[in-house]
Amino acid sequence: MKPPSNESITLKMAESEQKKVESSLNEALDHSAEKLSASALSDITQVRMQALKCLNENNSKKSYIDTVKNWLTMPSITMGLPAALAVIIAISVKYTALESIPELPLAMMITEVPNEDFAMLEDLEFVVWLAENEQSALL
Amino acid sequence: MLNTEPALITEQHEYSSGENLSPPLTMAAFLADIEKKAYHMAAFATGSHADALDLLQDSMIKLVTKYQEKPANEWKPLFYKILQNRIRDWHRHQKVKNVLFFWKNDDKEDWLPTQEIDLQTDTPEKNMTKAQQQQAALGHLKQLSGKQQQCFLLRSWEGLSVAETADVMGCSQGSVKTHYFRAVTKLRTMMEDDHETTF
């Protein structure tokens, strides 16, 4: 049987030494963590509580967003919302179209204007034309 | 039926590394589990109780607000990555502060791991010696460089793998191995010097 080489023995010794250092330090650290002062422990707990408060706030915000999202993705909403929008748009367009053409006042309707008024207007226009002609002749 | 408690259900995750046997863990339980170790890491890095608490709080809040939806087995490396980034930012900030206010000697190191070990109790002599050895060991850890210190804490104390430590520290796996080897070698030398013991 081949005896272990010097290199492998050195390596094993180094490994065991390393493990001893590690275990010694870990033990010291664990002890230090266990023996934290009451004030330090209370401070750390407060820090944790603050973080958990943020977690709850975040969750409640998220649940509200989820509720709204669920509501919006309901089939009746997904079908009904575009239809309702289309109806609203159609109605608003119709109203604006009617509003864009103002109704004629009744007095201007030809049917309502008496025939005598037209005759009188024609006479008046003729008198004005005569007067203008006379004036131009005088000049 | 309406979902009455979505918040409680969403924060339930399985806290295991691929094993189904581990019980489900909430974010609250996870934070309670790691808080002391995380505090120690931050305190070792900053040397200040208040700064360590600030870094711890920032890291916890970032984890719960941004990454709570991630699987629970990813929480630990994620949390330590956030914490290491915060520690790095803190060091940068301190460097700038020291350059700008060079006339001020703002050395506010108020945290020492040795403070936490109670040597005043009437323990037997053996326990006393052990406590003193532990105190000395923590003092040695404090003398390491920042990267070596954090590398040792993450690898040895927190039990992260080389790959996870590399990801957390933002360096290559080779660098992690080098930092770790140097840290252990330095610690061993210091401990040998102290106790005149050959490990």
Contact A47 B191 (CB under 8 A): no
C-alpha to C-alpha distance for A55 and B178, rounded to whole angstroms? 38
- The tens digit of pLDDT for each residue in B38-84 reads 999 999 888 889 999 999 999 999 999 888 888 888 899 999 999 99
- Give the per-residue pLDDT at B62: 92
Region A120-129: mean pLDDT is: 89
Contact (Cβ atoms closer than 8 angstroms) between residue B51 and residue B112: no
C-alpha to C-alpha distance for B166 and A86, rounded to whole angstroms? 58
What global pTM score does this model have?
Answer: 0.64
- Two structure tokens written together for B85: 């980034």
- Give the per-residue pLDDT at B117: 45
- Give the per-residue pLDDT at B87: 93
Q: Give the residue from B157, B158, B192 with the most A CB atoms within 10 Å of its CB, the best one to mutate.
A: B157
C-alpha to C-alpha distance for A105 and A43, rounded to whole angstroms? 83
- The tens digit of pLDDT for each residue in A27-73 reads 888 988 888 888 889 999 999 998 988 888 877 777 777 777 777 77
Residues 6+ apart with CB under 8 A from B33: B25
Contact (Cβ atoms closer than 8 angstroms) between residue B128 and residue B119: yes
- Give the per-residue pLDDT at B8: 37
- Give the per-residue pLDDT at B11: 43
> Which ipTM value was assigned to this complex?
0.73
Confidence class for position B172, pLDDT limits 50, 70, 90:
very high
Where is mean pLDDT largest: A77-86, B2-11, B69-78? B69-78
- The tens digit of pLDDT for each residue in B18-31 reads 444 454 478 889 99
Contact of A66 with chain B, judged by CB distance below 8 Å, is answered with: yes
Contact B11 A28 (CB under 8 A): no
Q: Which of B182, B151, B156 is nearest to B84 (CA)?
A: B151
H-state helical runs in B47-172: 49-66, 75-100, 125-143, 146-152, 162-169
C-alpha to C-alpha distance for B54 and A71, rounded to whole angstroms? 40
Q: What separation in angstroms does the CA of B191 have from each of B134, B152, B182?
A: 10, 15, 14
Confidence class for position A16, pLDDT limits 50, 70, 90:
confident
Q: Which of A36, A33, A25, A32 is nearest to B157 (CA)?
A: A25
- When computed from its CA atoms, the radius of gyration of chain B, rounded to whole angstroms, is 20
What domains appear along chain B, each with residue ranges and CATH number?
11-111 (1.10.1740), 113-199 (1.10.10.10)
Contact (Cβ atoms closer than 8 angstroms) between residue B142 and residue B153: no
- Give the per-residue pLDDT at B196: 62
- Give the per-residue pLDDT at B27: 87
Contact of A51 with chain B, judged by CB distance below 8 Å, is answered with: yes
Counting residues of chain A whose pLDDT is more than 70, the rounded percentage is 80
- Give the per-residue pLDDT at B26: 86
Of B10, B31, B199, the CB nearest to A51: B31
In the block, residue with structure tokens 């609203």: A88
3-state secondary structure of B190: helix
- Give the per-residue pLDDT at B10: 40
Q: What are phi and psi of A7, to 5 degrees?
A: -65, -45
Question: Chain B closest CA to A27's CA: distance in Å?
Answer: 8
Region B112-131: mean pLDDT is: 60
Region B130-143: mean pLDDT is: 83
3-state secondary structure of B118: coil
- The rounded mean pLDDT for chain B is 79
Contact B61 A51 (CB under 8 A): yes
Q: What separation in angstroms does the CA of A25 have from each of A40, A119, B132, B140?
A: 21, 122, 13, 9
Contact B7 A50 (CB under 8 A): no
